[in-house]
Structure 1
Amino acid sequence: MLVDVVSEDSRWETLGLEALAERGAQAALRELGLAPEGFEIAVLGCDDARIAVLNTEFRGKPAPTNVLSWPSEDRGAEAAGDMPDLPASPPSPMEAELGDIAISFETCAAEAAAAGKPLADHCLHLIVHGVLHLLGFDHIRDQDATLMEGLEVSILGKLGLPDPYCDERAGAAPNVSDDE
């Protein structure tokens, strides 16, 4: 398995976080031409209290968020809009661990309800989003955001999910927080 999931909140087990995380991670890697075999990602399914502590500790933001990611190495592109430095496929032993993702149940559930989306679909989107961060994608600069969001839309479309940013482009608030 590509993903190792630790659930600190039983609601994640009920939702099937392990299967969602595996599906999303595999789809993200395949979209980028990377064979999922040999890569490793750790996912923590937690609650708002736990992710608020992590958000405070690592980002200095004392509030819950939907998803956080910690890449094992900096792969980000130097020039805005360029592709990050992706690992080899199959990876070398040093490139096998892509990093860690934490995802909060309450925030995800609230966002999904507010957007009128199934919780599993929103969580799948956030896993894809987190995996792309592990691979060096970000959304700080406009050109990078355009690249990352385009990949998310493509990946989710192949998984049978609608464009998660269509409401945002129509003027609604985005569904993904700034988890840099």
Structure 2
Amino acid sequence: MKISLSLQQDFQVPQLKLKRGELKKVIKTTLHHINIDDHCELGIACVDLNESHQLNLQYRGKDKPTNVLSFPSDIPEDILPMLDARPLGDLVICIPVVLTESQQQNKNPHDHFTHLLVHGVLHLIGYDHELGETEAEEMETLEIEILAKLGLDNPYDERV
């Protein structure tokens, strides 16, 4: 499996160093877990509160920043065989929200970012926890399994 990754890091912080190789490993592990082994491409933009807020308002009608937004590719299925790589879409991850949530939930920022990356990739390929309880449980189970493969704890365990 090959991953073509476009990474835009307009917002960076010392406590969260993102390495392209690590990001690709997370993406590959996620896709392999759900039996996608194609050459895939996706974009990740790391943004500030203002950009996340504006995008969340524009695309979801929610007047606040959010941790991750997913924009799945809308290329028709019949076109995919003609492409060199399967375009998954784009993720927008708000670094200040990731850091705030990490602190509030007593989580390591890198681990929380990794969870959100897995979560976002699942959204790009069609999983949606907002469709109902069954879909949410299915998505959470996948996230827990994938993160375990990456050596990370269950992000849904209660923190004290």
What is the TM-score normalised by the length of structure 2?
0.86
- Residues in 1 aligned to 2:48 and 2:25: alpha-carbon distance in whole angstroms: 21
Choose from 144, 147, 156 the match for 1:153: 144
Note the C-alpha offset of 1:94: 8.4
Describe the shift of the 1:13–1:163 C-alpha distance in structure 2 as closer, same or farther (beyond 3 A): closer
The residue that corresponds to 1:51 in the other structure is 52
Cα RMSD for the two superposed structures: 2.4
- Residues in 2 aligned to 1:59 and 1:28: alpha-carbon distance in whole angstroms: 25
The residue that corresponds to 1:109 in the other structure is 99
The residue that corresponds to 1:10 in the other structure is 12
Aligned AA (2:133): D
Number of aligned residue pairs: 153
Deviations 1:30-80 (A, max 9, x none): 101111x52001000111111101001111112111000011149xxxxxx
Deviations 1:124-173 (A, max 9, x none): 000000000001001121111111100000000000000111228xxx9x
Identify the structure with the greater strand proportion: 2
Kept in 2, the 8 Å contact 1:52–1:65? The answer is yes
Unpaired runs of 5+ residues, structure 1, are 75-86, 173-180
Describe the shift of the 1:44–1:144 C-alpha distance in structure 2 as closer, same or farther (beyond 3 A): same
- Residues in 2 aligned to 1:162 and 1:2: alpha-carbon distance in whole angstroms: 27
- Residues in 1 aligned to 2:111 and 2:67: alpha-carbon distance in whole angstroms: 14
The residue that corresponds to 2:32 in the other structure is 30
**Aligned-partner SS, 1:58:** helix
Unpaired runs of 5+ residues, structure 2, are none
What is the TM-score normalised by the length of structure 1?
0.77
Q: Percent identity at matched positions? A: 32
Q: Does 2:122 correspond to 1:122? A: no
Aligned AA (2:5): V
